[in-house]
Amino acid sequence: MVGVWLRACALVMVGLVSASALAIDKQHTAIVVGGGLAGLTAAYELQAKGWQVTLLEAKPSLGGRSGLATSEWIGNSKAQPVLNQYLDHFKLKSVPAPEFVRTPGYLIDGEYFTPATLAAKQPATAEAMKRYNAALDDLARSIDNPESPAASSTLFALDQINVSNWLDRLNLPATARQLVNQEIRSRYDEPSRLSLLYFAQQSRVYRNVDDRDRRAARLPGGSAVLAQEFVKQLKSIKTNSPVSAIIQDKDGVTVKAGAVGYQAEYVVLAVPLRALGNIQMTPALDAQHMGAIKGTNYGWRDQIMLKFKTPVWDSKARMSGEIYSNTGLGMLWIEPALKGGANVVINLSGDNARIMQTFGDKQLSDQVLIRLHAFYPQARGAYLGYEIRRYSTDPSTGGAYLAFGPGQISKYWRLWEKPLQRVAFAGEHTDTLYPGTLEGALRTGQRAASQVQDLAAGKSFEPVKVVPPAAPSAPKAASGGFFSNLFGGSSDKAPAKVEPAPAPAPAPVVAPVAPVVAPVVVEPVKPEPVKAEPAKKAPAKGHPAKKPAAKEPAKKAPAKPAPAKKAPVKKAPVTPSAVPAADVKS
């Protein structure tokens, strides 16, 4: 009798165990590679849908690229809808921007101008800027659907031209051209390296969005604060886990990070293209994807923060918001200093950033200080130190952000939007409408999460085929004047005169490259030395001068380290000697 009872109990236990095993089996599993905002979003959204997710990040900290800014200007829900949804969701409060920072200003030879004062004091420059903006609006209007910018052969032809060629035709006076170049290189990349179609497409995306909406508020703490909110929610994060290989087979995916292999059903790959090129994929990517990894242009933008005891610019200009200078200082804005003092962030973009790669950090900050001091003579006396971030040459980012060069939309448009077997792609570079932005990163994290769920539900995705329009045809009548001006013929002619611009160098260029029209105003070292002491005193407390810690707020992340046994999802050491050291480190 006792024996029968024990046997019955055992059967019930076996039944319970297999039922619970079944329940565990039913939980879908995913690995997210890359802990920038795209990867964090994908992981968060999948986890919210009941998935078991492990996020692998190469660096010790999370949050990926985000500027030196600790209090970024952000757009309102018209300009950045997804970003604002997440801010609301996490109850993060942004602070409305004062009216005076909501439109760009100009610093011309050290003198500050609003658009209104520019019109009053430098009418020729203001008039030229107006002409440029009207031409840009024409260009934007030529794109019916920004999701399909190369829809006609005429538009396709725009992809073969660079923005500098187009600007040449506008014959802007020198100062206006310098300011325009500065604005374009700050937002995208050097005009000579940028596809005119990409520029048109992006201008179309933002056509009905006022500058005021794009700079509507400030997020105290910057985008790192948003990253931290995602981090707090995620159950399994492994930092210091650079992924080196992804192997897919019919049953799932193995992801190799250091000596550890992680297994799951699906992967979201949320790393920038150059970083993706360092991950060995099995099966290998096809030639088009490999070509895109190597050939897609990234804009260059590095940031230097100069720290002062007092705001040395007060007497001459209110420097805040987005200010474009014609003097090689790039775009500047004032950053609230954490412990008194005043910081100014200077963005070196495009070829100015490329040339600056030949300078060490100290030399570079000296060069910038020399230029600032020329306009603000209290600068050197009040100088405390600097921080520098060189995104352009950081191998984990491979550049500041995607900025399609000539011919690249024709080859790579929407290439990364479709999953390849069990791998979905995310990251700002995979967004069609908002590449190069926080909005783009967040959108693609959502998209990849939903694609992986579709895959699990049995949906298949056709691979992307980029097919150029058949043959050049007459430009659209609606765009008439614009296209005839652009191509130098009547509007009913095919764009025969379009001369394909040479493709920009795909990989980071270290050697100086001269911009087509505007002089590179940041010139190699002048004899004028900067006093050594200020830089020696350098960093304000907690801000090392030469090697600033990346993403301070996210550094402590994750807030809730996952217990070792919960992650990785289904751990399978790749080598027999695998020691899952990284497994417990998060």
Which lies closer to ligand FAD via its Cβ, residue 400 or residue 498?
400
| Binding track over 34-63 against ligand FAD, x by CB under 6 A | xxxxxx----------------xxxx----
Q: Does 515 bind ligand FAD (CB under 6 A)?
A: no
Is 66 a binding residue for ligand FAD by CB under 6 A? The answer is yes
- The label of the residue with tokens 């995310």 reads 426
Stretch that binds ligand FAD, among 265-273, 485-493, 511-519, 577-585 (CB under 6 A): 265-273
Of 47, 64, 82, the C-alpha closest to 389 is: 64
Please state the closest distance from residue 237 (CB atom) to ligand FAD, in A: 11
DSSP calls for 303-345:
EEEEEESS-TTTTT----S-EEESSS--EEEEE--TTSSEEEE
Closest distance to ligand FAD from the beta carbon of 440 (Å):
6
Beta-bridge partner residues of 56: 33, 238
104 binds ligand FAD per the rule CB under 6 A = no
Percentages (nearest 5) of helix, strand, coil residues in the chain: 40, 15, 45
CB of 254 to ligand FAD, least distance (A): 14
Write each residue from 367 to 406 as x if it is in contact with ligand FAD (CB under 6 A), else as -, in one continuous string: ------------------------x----xx--xx-----
Residue (of 427, 436, 569) closest to 42 by Cα position: 427
266 binds ligand FAD (CB under 6 A): no
Q: Does residue 29 belong to the site contacting ligand FAD (CB under 6 A)?
A: no
Interface with ligand FAD includes 185 (CB under 6 A)? no
For ligand FAD, the binding residue among 222, 419, 436, 515 (CB under 6 A) is 436
Measuring CA to CA, how many Å separate 236 from each of 31, 335, 411, 448? 10, 34, 37, 18
Q: Which is nearer to ligand FAD, 393 or 485 (CB)?
A: 393
By CB under 6 A, tell whether 342 contacts ligand FAD: no
- The answer to whether residues 119 and 126 touch, using CB atoms and an 8 Å cutoff, is yes
Instruction: Reduce the DSSP state of residue 286 to 3 states and report it.
Output: coil
- Specify the residue, 37 or 306, whose C-beta has the smaller distance to ligand FAD: 37
Q: How far is CA 421 from each of CA 99, 118, 123, 530, rounded to the nearest angstrom?
A: 49, 55, 58, 56
Task: Find, among 170, 104, 57, the residue nearest to 321 by Cα.
Answer: 104
What is the signed CA dihedral for 94, 97, 102, 106, rounded to 10 degrees?
A: -110
Amino acid identity of residue 335, one-letter, is: E
Of the candidates 29, 94, 325, 437, which one interacts with ligand FAD according to CB under 6 A?
437
Can you tell me which of 190, 387, 417, 428 binds ligand FAD, judged by CB under 6 A? 428
Residue 102 in the binding site for ligand FAD (CB under 6 A): no
Q: Residue 113: beta bridge partners?
A: 106
Site for ligand FAD in 211-250 (CB under 6 A): 242-243
Tell the smallest beta-carbon distance from residue 256 to ligand FAD (Å). 10
- CA dist 462 and 456 (Å) reads 16
Which residue number, 441 or 574, has a Cβ lying nearer to ligand FAD? 441
* Structure-block tokens of residue 106: 């100009």
Token code pair at residue 161 = 């031209």
The residue count of the chain comes to 586
Paired residues of 344 in beta bridges: 306, 334
Find the Cα–Cα–Cα–Cα dihedral 85, 88, 94, 98, rounded to 10°. 60
Q: Binder to ligand FAD among 45, 54, 64, 369 (CB under 6 A)?
A: 64
State in angstroms the smallest separation of the CB of 357 from ligand FAD: 15
Segment 126 to 145, residues that bind ligand FAD, using CB under 6 A? none
Using DSSP, state whether 295 is helix, strand or coil.
helix
Taking the complex as a whole, the smallest distance from the CB of residue 37 to ligand FAD amounts, in Å, to 5
Place of tokens 């060995």: 280
Q: Which of 270, 273, 423, 498 binds ligand FAD (CB under 6 A)?
A: 270
Q: Which is nearer to ligand FAD, 54 or 437 (CB)?
A: 437
Antiparallel, parallel or unpaired: β 243-248 and 280-282: parallel
Task: Give the per-residue contact string, 272-301, with ligand FAD (x = CB under 6 A; - = no).
Answer: x--x---x---------------------x
Site residue total, ligand FAD (CB under 6 A): 38
SS3 80: coil
In the complex with ligand FAD, the residue whose CB is nearer, 67 or 385, is 67
Binding interface with ligand FAD (CB under 6 A):
33-39, 56-59, 64-67, 72, 242-243, 270-272, 275, 279, 301, 303, 391, 396-397, 400-401, 427-428, 436-441
